[in-house]
Amino acid sequence: MGCPDGIATLDQATGKMAQYEGKMTMIVLHKISYDRIKNSFKDCNVCDEYAEPIINYLVYGFNPGAFFTAVIANDFAGAMSRSHPANQVQELKYLVHWMNNCMPRVSWGGYDIFYAWIDASEEYRRKILEDHKLIYTPHEETWEAISKV
């Protein structure tokens, strides 16, 4: 999985630690689960440049940067003031469509929710993502991997 600069990527097969801004994680996300969440973005036409920071935020609790933090916090003025000039309104519409239809409500909607998600345990975040069918359970990952052999 691609990560923003400064993040050591988590090895999908071994579950080796990832680090971002001093935050360590041991969550193991199999490639099959990564593909599931990534495809949910593709289904809504969200580009990779927008999907990756949100995936890292949802799965690992990594801070996605000021622009995406404002988007996740539902802070229009903050997002616009932090937006890169190359950002396109249509891309933001696709992302917001994905958020409204796929992103767990406990993970976005205000700065307090944003910081609570980052501070949440890996187990809590994973369970929420599993319940929303954004990733597979470890059991489902195993069965999906076996069925593809």
User: pLDDT digits over 36-78, tens only?
Assistant: 999 999 999 999 999 999 999 999 999 999 999 999 999 999 9
Strand partners, 8: 19
Residue in the structure block whose two tokens are 């909607």: 109
- Indicate the average pLDDT of the chain: 86
How far is residue 80's CA from residue 134's CA, in Å, rounded to a whole number? Answer: 28
**Amino acid in the structure at residue 100:** N
Partners of 18 in beta bridges: 25
**What integer is the mean pLDDT of 23-46?**
87
* Residue listed under structure tokens 């691609």: 2
Identify the band that residue 16 occupies on the pLDDT scale cut at 50, 70 and 90.
very low
pLDDT at 24: 57
**What is the model's pTM?**
0.82
Are 103 and 135 in contact by the 8 Å Cβ rule? The answer is: no
